[in-house]
Structure 1
Amino acid sequence: MHFSTALSFTLLAGIASANLAVAQSKEIPTDAQTVLKTVRPEAIRNHMRILSNDSLRGRKPGTKGFDMGADYVTNQLKAIGYQPAGENSTYRQDVPLRRWQVREEASTMTFLIDGKEQPLTYGKQFILSPTPDHATSNVTAPVVFVGYGVTAPELGYDDYTNIDVKGKIVAYVNGAPNSFPSNQRAFYSSSKAENAAAHGAIGTLAFSLPSDLRNRIETAAPRARQGIYRWVDKSGKPQRTVPAIQGAASLSDSTARLLFTKSPVPFRDVITNVQKNRSQAFPLNISARIKARTDVVEDVAGYNVVGVLPGSDPALKDEYIVCAAHIDHLGVGRPVKGDSIYNGAHDNASGVAINLEMARLFASLPKAPRRSIIFVGVTGEEMGLLGSDYFASNPTVAKNKIVANIALDMPFFFHPLLDIVPYGAEHSSLGRETEQAAEFLGIKISPDPIPEQTVFMRSDHFSFVRQGIPALFIKSGSETGNPNLDGTKLNLDWRATIYHTPQDDMNQPFDFKAAAKHVQLQFLIGYLAAQADSRPTWNKGDFFGTKFGNQDVVK
């Protein structure tokens, strides 16, 4: 990093919270302006220090450490006057989680080329994803290449044009065309199994471009071998699965090339077409056999923490702005540099800490906002957005009364907050509140600097988007105020060296003044949405509003 921890804390010590800059504006009520000035950088630091302490051992769902973190959040909500909004008049909403794992010794994959079998080596040439809907799978079918595996008619792109994949296995490249807008690119990168099933496929083979080192199976295999989690309904049925897909594999680069042994198009030309965003589909003239055994490994008693600050307007208090951040992290795992506790200070003790301070600002208003404010500390984000998906699918209040979601996860405050990337703001009327709040605080709005990271699909706000609820997910931008410090490089370096390692602890150069500004921004956006006469709406013709928006809910 380019800062020293000691310098960061020295700067923090010199910050008086009342002196945090807040512009004067006739558009922001005086009460809100006054409350904004009371934000406490030291409180954010203290929340983070407690939540990421070694004693919580990484806050993995189902462990004592997660319980300790959830208890801390619950007690903080009680102390500032939030009422229980979980189940049975408590602050808790149970989220039943289950983990599935591939039994490797009972799972194989073979290519059938010119009538000859070519067995592949598990973990080196391929890895299989668990299939929760199928304890055993045995699929043999011809393989069809379908480019990126994307169907996006609104963007004039379809890899399945003029190809029949019913009863077949489809092979596709990870990612989506880089010509797509950032958030649509994220969506289509993450919804390929569903699209394959919709076209009748029964299996999938995924591989990365030779230049894409992030998704190589050498990197993915260790985590893939830990299995997958899903939440289950009351009958024990797993949710967010694709039952039609009976076998799903990821291939190494060399195995992907082998897949094209009999291809009518050379592998190098296929890659060139992919890189030029050209849709393509054709039979590969080989077959694949996938035999898989998927075992239930464990059930986890997950739960969310939910509190509410009731609104003050009799006509609007039964509508809700939901502010979400995930409490969980990865627990204890493989030692890195002599440390095995994955503390998750930035991911996501920081988001919880900022939301707790934001919750306090709402509670400090002389009069509560017109709409009610729900704080939800969710579980299982690291397992696949499970706690937020459970809450958004089974909310503890009427679903059609949840009018907006503002989520926070790893906002990245390692430099002053000069600009933001507000994922989701361009899709709904929440963009207006975002612009107003940012302008008031003197913060610029910037485009996504790392669209290849598909950030829009990777945190809890998307669980609400999927339910047709306008949502925001804000991260700091790349401006640092220092011409010698590249904010994008700093972000990418952190992701490459610290993200999801035990080094994500409090021994990092956090800028708590920037964190406090995140609080002010989140509070002000939520406040403006809570005070507005009309609930937030999707923009006319918006991609996500059209795909997920319920017109009976969003008016």
Structure 2
Amino acid sequence: MNPIVRRIAPLCCLALAAQRPLPSDPETRAWWATTADLSGDVMEGRDTGSSGHERAARLVADRFAKAGLKPAGDGGSYFQRVPMHEVRVERISVSVGGRPLRFLHDIMMNPVPGMPATLDAALAYRGYCAADALGDVRGRIVICHGTHRAGHPSDAERTVAVQAAGGAGVVTIADPGFAVEPPRWPFAYARTVWIAGKPPEARGPVRFTLNADALAAVIAGSGRDAARLIAAGAAGQPLPSFDPPRPFRASIRLTQRSIDSPNVLAFLPGTDPSMAAQTIVLSAHLDGYGPGEPVAGDRIYNGTLDDAAYVALLIRLAERRAGKGFRRPLLFAAFTGEEKGLLGARWFVDHSTVAKSRIAADINLDQIRPIFPLKLLTVHALDDTSLGDDARAVAVAMGVEVQRDPEPERNLLRRADQWPFIQAGIPATAFVFGYRAGSESERIYRQWYRTGYHKPQDDLDQPIDWQAATDFNRFFTTLVARIADQPAAPSWKPASSLRSQIPR
């Protein structure tokens, strides 16, 4: 990047932020200015392995250093580089009966090494694709309604059943009835990234995801009403089995390359020698999606709330401390590759620059949307560790109620960077803004997931509830101080059902 451009980039981002009313609270303004530095267009969405991510990582490291944090990466640096490999769909055409399907809009696939370059097969529609409903699908591409409802096969179970029955591929209809997290179209791109040396599973049927709006084109000539099938599937009602008459064809060109991308790690030493082996990790993910398929003419997926704003919150906490430690040490971690499968957090847990035995807990910031008042907070693993008790105590003192995850079918606990810590037996927690059913807050939340989540519209111009942002940021900093200074270290609760599921 041109050095002159690099110097003026923060000023550009602040100018963007200034186009909207700014919060009255000075600390919230400073947090948002840092968010603007990280998620303006100049950072190009911070995709894993990209030059934009590298610029953002240098900015974070520089701010950590100026705040008095010590480098905690490899070789005395602030960076821990994560080796990765990627496979990307370079070119693809998909059609049914000669009628093309628009890739990323009508149909999507996640590429894996070794998948066939061409497909030419008959179709079979098999409802929810329970094993006993498949019949003879040998060599066929099987269409399945991707419901999340209890009592029907999961995505993994559908794939296993189709493979066992000899199917050549699975086309899963993205269920519009899954209102808690509705399908998102278009997808940004088709790209799979994994930690080098640990390639994704390549065996089994080729897997596609279908936009429900495109089902009519796929089953044309079958005499079936696509809208009725989608409505029945969305409601969990019985679905038929039939064989659409037109063949499914695809031609796929993949490209592969090795990349690496840095975690940014910085250390604030503790003040109590007796607690030196009780490091508290504070984490958020630096990566976003980067440039992708345009939505409303915008192709930069800025990732402002997901998750630049909460890397910014780590920076602001470090700057406010100005090198002054708590009793316990803190490790500030801006992880890479979260959007590609928690890759940076997984690498850190497996190659920790602090001995794993000296990590007492992880407090992760992700999935936080300050877009309506903070009156109710979902606390992940609320009943599993002492961190849940700490979160409850801080929230209640602020007049905020806490709750367990009310939507476990979304699997949010396992979808963010706290999960590798939990898998390693380290107490961890994370937070989601909660709402009451039928409330205006729920309406705003649902709308954001339809129009903002993993889209270019998650940018600096989106509506923010500044008081909610101020309240959550205060909750977080108060919680960190409580956990880092109190006499007892974070611990698992003996009755934790979560801990009993963790491999030992």
1:394 to 351, 354, 364: 351
Matched, 1:471 2:437: no
8 Å contact from structure 2 (residues 148, 409) kept in 1: no
1:510 aligned counterpart, secondary structure:
coil
Counterpart amino acid of 2:64? L
Q: What stretches of structure 1 of length at least 5 have no aligned partner? A: 18-39, 111-117, 150-158, 181-187
Q: Which residue of 1 aligns with 2:283?
A: 324
Q: Is the 1:340–1:502 contact (alpha carbons within 8 Å) kept by the matching residues of 2?
A: yes
- By how many angstroms is 1:474 displaced? 1.0
Q: In structure 1, what residue type is equivalent to 2:255? A: V
Find 1:206's aligned residue among 162, 165, 172.
172
Q: Structure 1 pair 433/360, CA: closer, same or farther in 2 (3 Å)?
A: farther
Aligned to 1:368, what secondary structure does the other structure show? coil
Query: Residue 333 of structure 2 corresponds to which residue in structure 1?
Result: 376
In the alignment, the residues of structure 2 paired with residue 347 and residue 50 of structure 1 have an alpha-carbon distance, to the nearest angstrom, of: 14
SS of 1:389's partner is helix
Tell me the equivalent position of 2:61: 74
User: Structure 2 vs 1, CA of residues 294 and 527 (structure 1 numbering), >3 Å: closer, same or farther?
Assistant: farther
Distance in 2 (alpha carbons) for counterparts of 1:268 and 1:415: 36
Of residues 82-91 and 463-472 in structure 1, the stretch that sits farther from structure 2 once superposed is 463-472
State which of 98, 111, 133 in structure 2 corresponds to 1:130. 111
**Distance in 1 between residues matched to 2:250 and 2:138, nearest whole Å:** 16
Supply the AA of the counterpart residue of 1:521: F
1:309 aligned residue:
268
RMSD: 4.6
Aligned to 1:492: 446
Q: CA deviation at 1:84?
A: 1.4
Cα distance, 1:437 vs structure 2: 1.7
Give unmatched runs, 5+ long, in structure 2.
1-16
Q: What is the rounded CA distance, in whole Å, between the counterparts of 2:237 and 2:275 in structure 1?
A: 47
CA offsets 1:154-179 (integer angstroms, 9 cap, x no match): xxxxx668999999987643242269
Bigger mean CA deviation after superposition, 393-402 or 159-168: 159-168
Amino acid paired to 1:536? S
Q: Structure 2 CA distance, aligned partners of 1:315 and 1:415?
A: 42
Q: Is the Cα contact below 8 Å between 1:331 and 1:342 reproduced in 2?
A: yes
Q: How much has 1:453 moved relative to structure 2? A: 5.6
Q: Residues 251 and 343 (structure 1 numbering): CA distance in 2 closer, same or farther, change over 3 Å? A: closer
Q: CA deviation at 1:400?
A: 4.5
- Which deviations, in whole Å up to 9, do the C-alpha atoms of 1:54-78 show, x marking residues without a partner? 3323323334332222112112211
What is the rounded CA distance, in whole Å, between the counterparts of 2:277 and 2:120 in structure 1? 50
Q: Distance in 2 between matches of 1:193 and 1:85?
A: 43
Deviation of 1:323 (Å): 1.5
CA contact (8 A) 1:419 1:444 kept: yes
- Residues 322 and 489 (structure 1 numbering): CA distance in 2 closer, same or farther, change over 3 Å? same
Match of 1:537 in 2: 492
1:425 alignment partner in structure 2 = 382
So what's the TM-score if we normalise by structure 1?
A: 0.69
Change (3 A) 1:404 1:164: farther
Distance in 2 between residues matched to 1:497 and 1:78, nearest whole Å? 36
Q: Please name the residue that 2:42 is paired with.
A: 55
Code of the residue aligned with 1:70 in structure 2: it is A
Aligned residues: 477
Match 2:29 to one of 24, 27, 42? 42
Counterparts of 2:191 and 2:91, CA distance in 1: 14
Whichever residue aligns with residue 129 of structure 1, its letter is N
Once residues 70 and 92 of structure 1 are traced to their aligned partners in structure 2, the CA distance between those partners, rounded to angstroms, is 8
Match for 1:208: what amino acid? A
Query: Any idea what SS the aligned residue of 1:88 has?
Result: helix
Give the 3 Å change call, closer, same or farther, for CA 108–443 of structure 1 in structure 2.
closer
Equivalent residue number for residue 461 of structure 1? 418
Q: 1:64 to 1:269 in 2, by over 3 A?
A: closer
**How many angstroms apart in 2 are the aligned matches of 1:59 and 1:268?**
41
Give the whole-Å Cα distance in 1 for the aligned partners of 2:372 and 2:100: 46
Alignment of 1:105-116 (within 5 A): none
Q: 1:259 to 1:385 in 2, by over 3 A?
A: farther
Q: Superposed, which structure 2 residues align to 1:227-376 within 5 Å?
A: 227-233=190-196, 235=197, 237-238=198-199, 241-253=200-212, 254=215, 258=219, 275-276=235-236, 293=252, 295-333=254-292, 339-360=298-319, 368-370=326-328, 372-376=329-333
For residue 340 of structure 2, give the secondary structure of its aligned residue in structure 1.
coil
SS in structure 2 at match of 1:425:
coil
Q: Is the 8 A contact 2:360 2:489 kept in 1?
A: no
Q: Distance in 1 between matches of 2:138 and 2:496?
A: 34
Q: CA deviation at 1:206?
A: 1.5
| Distance (whole Å) between structure 2 residues aligned to residue 325 and residue 161 of structure 1 | 43
For the residues of structure 1 that align with 2:137 and 2:361, how far apart are their CA atoms? 39
- Determine helix, strand or coil for the equivalent of 2:265: strand
Give the 3-state SS of the residue equivalent to 1:305 in structure 2: strand
Please say if 1:546 is aligned against 2:480: no
Q: How many percent of aligned residue pairs carry the same amino acid?
A: 25
> What is aligned with 1:176?
148
Secondary structure of the 2:76 match is: coil
Tell me if structure 1 keeps the 8 A contact 2:280–2:359.
Answer: yes
Q: Cα distance, 1:454 vs. partner?
A: 5.2
